[in-house]
Chains A and B, each alone.
Chain A
């Protein structure tokens, strides 16, 4: 299956290259013959043919690859008798079996000594399918039912036929459109504009994919969240102060302790990162010489490149024990090395480059004429920064702050390793607490049933978080955009 896809891709690519060469040649030949000047450079005619060969063919291939399994699945699954579905619990489980068997049969045929005709004659009620498949490494849980086996066989057959038709269709498309565009070449044809249009649509298509993906993510979050709110009251979710999931149901799934933990950790992080980051930015933008700046800025930005798991380790091994031994225990405020303080401080360090780098750019964007105006009136450097540059840069800095905040709210690794995993509503920053993101992970990776509120709550948590950070981002974007108009 995969081999035939890659083969067809290679063939189409080869045709594309050929189309380019032929198109270019024809353009030159035609203009020679008719003694007219080409509208575009010869390469553009080649490009046009190449685009007509490649783009529709690949589009068709992509759509086909996406649609075929769905179509086959629905076809086969309607053929499976209801009794078998009832036996194994769900249709999706039966279909999983069908796919596995079909795969196994592929391998069996591929391994040799077993032909397609053998397979066509093979019957589940006579031969031992299970041991046969085990010999090629496909282990099945139970003996294969005849109906399932037949379904697997027709799954294979339809799939193979489908792939064949697909390959033919793709090749025909490539050749037909290629030939058509090749014949169409005349010196007056605006090949340059054609390729421009194609490129524009290509770029537009790419951005469309990003947008559709976002919509898809929101859609799936929303879908599962609605599921969750059907089986768990929204009021309890949003307003209950206890988070206590049980394996056997009857859990308390209040978001408040998690939200509190998230906000508390983010607050500590921002309380560290914002003043430090701002001062770094001011120093770099206003005081540091250009050589120091060109060294220090990338060095600080390197902090942003450290994987958060490494920060997590730092929190777990260094900062956590340090805070416990030197601050929390001596003052009697706590005895755990996981704490809001630990996670918050480490996260703050992670956020410093966000704030400093963005603010530095924003401060630099304040025109030199503002500074000159202020210095020309006899203001000192720090007066100028405080009274002219900061107010002018403030909206942008608020934007930077909000971006950092949404980053802090979404952070997971540092929190798991630094703040622990116990949901708690407390004001003591030296106690272990946890955040929304951590609980999303632990609820999804737990071994409760997928359709239970204990698992589905993860989506509701995710959606809440998403709405939260989306709101922050929108505010940030709005402010940043408004600020752009400030001093022009």
Chain B
């Protein structure tokens, strides 16, 4: 009974956490601050991430986009000198709560990096890695199936199905990045974080990945860091503008690009600084 009550309470809270547009808040940053040693890289960031939407983080280099992104699945824990203050929740649970299992959190909030980083294993093993360590599948057939589904989901199946046993590092850059996306969705995360996923790719590969992001939005919540204004405009529903470690403003992508309320955003988007 107790459990059920908690469940209901949690659901209520989740229901309560509904943004102005009616979408559900998946993750919520509340006065997030980040220090690298004694240097503060992020100041009091309040940012909501809506479920099944693409949120783009933009801003000039060094403003703290990656830093914020890495807070969302606690990748900053791997940096010794990094310290996070404030509160970040995933489905209303504080992810920095000592009771939270980081490993489980990262399975729920997956990450795709700026530079494609497939493991030096076969394509198949790259995708199977996550499901294996989390024990998501019972049999070899299930695993085969999951690998295929993930590769299809990442739009790589047609290109890779005949070379599953070849090393993932032998793929082209764009294919590698889609392999990394396949690898991330194979563990069925709820949120996918992408840090400049197209910065190492050519325009055609970029277009493919962007198309993919648009499809993934049906099932996943996505946060993407990008330096390309066009990309932010094309793929995201909401855009957050960072500058010097502060969140300047966050709004619907359309509003940000047509009618930003802050001058700094206007200047950045029109290429006047950054």
- Let me know if A369 and B75 touch, CB within 8 A: no
**B119 in contact with A378 (CB, 8 Å):** no
- Is B5 on the interface with A (CB-CB < 8 A)? no
Q: Quick one: given A369-B115, A387-B129, are A377 and B110 in contact (CB under 8 Å)?
A: yes
A488's closest neighbor in chain B, by CB?
Answer: B169
Q: Are B184 and A372 in contact (CB under 8 A)?
A: no
Contact between B113 and A377, CB atoms less than 8 A apart = no
Interface residue B54 (Cβ < 8 Å from any Cβ of A): no
Are A376 and B73 closer than 8 Å at their CB atoms? yes
B183 near A372: Cβ-Cβ < 8 Å: no
Chain B min CB distance to A198 (Å): 45
Residues 353-391 of chain A, each 1 if its beta carbon lies under 8 Å from chain B, else 0: 000000000000001011111111111100100011001
Over the window 110-154 of chain B, the binary record of Cβ atoms lying under 8 Å from chain A Cβ atoms (1 yes, 0 no) is 111101011111000000011001100000000000000000000
Docked CA distance A375–B130 (Å): 10
A392 within 8 A of B: yes
B199 CB, min distance to chain A CBs, angstroms: 14
Bound Cα distance A3, B78 (Å): 67
Known: A372-B75, A383-B133. A377 touches B117 (CB 8 A): no
Contact check, B103 vs A374: say whether CB atoms are below 8 A apart. Answer: no
Closest Cβ of chain B: how far from A427's Cβ, in Å?
Answer: 40
CB of A372 within 8 A of CB of B113, answer yes
Q: Which of B73, B110, B111, B119 touches A388 (beta carbons < 8 Å)?
A: B119
Tell me which residues across on chain B come within 8 A of A380, comparing CB atoms: 103, 133
Residue of B73, B119, B134 near A374 (CB, 8 A) is B119
B133 with A378: CB separation less than 8 A: yes
Q: Are A378 and B134 in contact (CB under 8 A)?
A: yes
The answer to the question of A289 belonging to the interface, with a C-beta cut-off of 8 Å to chain B, is yes
| A379/B133 in contact, CB under 8 A | yes
Interface presence of A117 (CB below 8 A): no
Q: Determine whether the beta carbon of A379 is less than 8 Å from that of B119.
A: no
Chain A nearest Cβ from B36, distance in angstroms: 14
A486 at the interface (CB under 8 A from B): yes
| A377-B107 in contact (CB<8A) | yes
Is A487 engaged at the interface, CB distance under 8 Å to the other chain? yes
Q: Scan residues 472-488 of chain A and give those whose CB is less than 8 A from a CB of chain B.
A: 486-487
Which A residues touch B78, using CB under 8 A?
371-372, 375
* Binary contact track B72-108/A, C-beta < 8 Å → 1, others 0: 0101001010000000000000000000000111111
Closest chain B CB from A484 CB (angstroms): 12
B41, CB-defined interface residue at 8 Å? no
Q: Which of A371, A376, A387 contacts B110 (CB 8 A)?
A: A376
B187 at the interface (CB under 8 A from A): yes
In the bound complex, what is the Cα–Cα distance between A429 and B217 (angstroms)?
A: 66
Shortest distance in angstroms between A290's beta carbon and chain B's nearest beta carbon?
7
CA distance A378 to B73 in the complex (A): 9
Mark out the residues of chain A between 328 and 369 whose CB falls within 8 Å of any chain B CB in the assembled complex: 367, 369
Closest to A371 in B: B78
Q: Does B269 belong to the interface (CB within 8 Å)?
A: no
Q: Is B250 close to A, CB under 8 A?
A: no
Min Cβ gap A149→B in Å is: 77
**Contact present for A487 and B110 (CB under 8 Å):** no
Give the CA-CA distance A388 to B121 in the complex, in Å: 9
Main secondary structure of the interface of A (DSSP, over half): helix
- Whether B180 is near chain A, meaning CB under 8 Å from some CB there, is yes
CB-based nearest B residue for A373: B117
State A369–B106 Cα separation when bound (angstroms).
16
Q: Given A372-B113, A487-B169, verify A378-B120 contact (CB < 8 Å).
A: no
A44 CA to B2 CA, complexed, in Å: 89
Q: A372 vs B108: C-alpha distance in the bound complex, in angstroms?
A: 16
Contact assessment for B80 and A289 in the assembled complex, using a CB-CB cutoff below 8 Å: yes
Bound: A290/B115 CA distance, A: 26
Residue among A370, A375, A376, A380 with max Cβ neighbours from chain B (10 Å): A376
Bound-state CA distance A41–B47 (Å) is 63
Q: Contacts A376-B73, A377-B107, A378-B107 hold; do A370 and B119 have CB atoms under 8 A apart? A: yes
The answer to whether A486 and B133 touch across the interface, beta carbons within 8 angstroms, is no
User: Which residue among A370, A378, A380 has the maximum number of chain B CB atoms within 10 Å of its CB?
Assistant: A378
Which of A370, A377, A486 meets B106, CB within 8 Å? Answer: A377
Instruction: Give 1 or 0 for each of A269-308: 1 = CB within 8 Å of chain B CB.
Output: 0000000000000000000011000000000000000000
Write out the residue numbers on chain B whose beta carbons fall within 8 Å of the beta carbon of A367: 117
Q: Report the minimum CB–CB distance from B117 to chain A (whole Å).
A: 4
Point out the residues of chain B lying under 8 angstroms from A369, CB to CB: 113, 115, 117
B120 contacts across to A, CB distance below 8 A: 370, 391-392, 486-487
Quick check: B184 and A379 within 8 Å, CB to CB?
A: no
Tell me whether B117 and A372 are in contact (CB under 8 A). yes
Residues in chain A near residue B111, CB distance under 8 A = 372, 376
Q: A383-B133, A387-B133 are in contact. Are A376 and B75 (CB under 8 A)?
A: yes
The docked-state distance in angstroms from the alpha carbon of A487 to that of B75 is: 22
Point out residues on A near B: beta carbons under 8 Å. Answer: 289-290, 367, 369-380, 383, 387-388, 391-392, 486-487
The contact sample of 30 A-B pairs, CB cut-off 8 A, is A290-B80, A367-B117, A369-B115, A372-B113, A372-B117, A373-B117, A373-B118, A374-B119, A374-B129, A375-B78, A376-B73, A376-B106, A376-B184, A377-B106, A377-B129, A377-B130, A377-B133, A378-B103, A378-B104, A378-B107, A378-B108, A378-B133, A379-B103, A379-B130, A379-B133, A380-B103, A387-B129, A387-B133, A388-B129, A391-B120
16 extra interchain contacts, Cβ-Cβ under 8 A, other than A373-B183, A377-B187, A387-B133?
A: A369-B117, A370-B117, A372-B113, A373-B117, A374-B129, A375-B75, A376-B113, A376-B184, A377-B106, A377-B110, A377-B183, A378-B106, A378-B110, A388-B119, A391-B120, A391-B121
Closest CB pairs A-B (n = 7)? A378-B107, A376-B111, A369-B117, A378-B106, A377-B130, A373-B117, A487-B120
